[in-house]
Amino acid sequence: MPQQIAVVTGAGSGVGRAVAVELAAAGWLPVLAGRREEPLRGTAELCAAAGPGGRAAVVVPTDVTDPAAVDALFAAAAEPCGRVDLLFNNAGTFGASAAVDELDIAEWRAVVDLNLTGAFLCARAAFRRMKAQDPRGGRIINNGSISAHVPRPHSIAYTATKHAVTGLTKSLSLDGRPYRIACGQIDIGNAATEMTAAMSTGVRQADGRIAVEPTMDVADVARTVRHMAELPLEANVQFATVMATAMPYIGRG
């Protein structure tokens, strides 16, 4: 069986890095995208150590908000085997924590550009490749969030974009049916990464308190993404929620 190609955005750290390494260990060739080359090189080294044969991942520094850069990313991804089998659409940012009436419009646009427009541009490029390649098809997994369901205080831009990612997932699922393109979404709660470091010192709750929240190992997220990725295209995990068991979500607030 030819090696499968997985594009992972936001691959320089956190969930993206963990997923890339997990896929490499399973024999995939990860194509690593992110704005900064140095962290991507670090992820590539981990992929080479984890993967069979020590083959390094492909590093493609990319600004996913730039359509031309995204097109170049997928051209590079298709080069080794002539196809793209998986997109893990993961790049994102929480942005500034601010009350609605105090959020600067530039901050709003920065979060929307990365979390929503960037996700769309990558999905569009993947869809084009998957629709045209032979054999046709592939899989897109979008990184949603617990915030795709319920907000945190002072997170309107992040929450709005993550709700929008759910709409993106549903539309891609529907439009991909004729072309064997499956699309699912993983909604993650409190995986221990750089982005969630504040959980250990305390974050604002719905009632205004500051409280420490439980976290979980990011490797558990990576294993879930791998499971979703390795299903046959006739099967799909449409939505999966993976979260720290005791975090405030069920009954949040």
Q: Which residues are catalytic?
A: 158
| Omega cis (within 30) before 52 | no
C-alpha–C-alpha distance, residues 119 and 137, integer Å = 19
- Return the bridge partners of 189, or none: 243
Beta bridge partners, 243, equal 189
> Measured between alpha carbons, how far is residue 61 from residues 31, 64, 90, 132, 137 in Å?
10, 9, 15, 25, 25
Instruction: Give the residues across from 242 on adjacent strands.
Output: 188
| Residues 34 and 12: beta-carbon distance below 8 Å | yes
Residue 138 identity: G
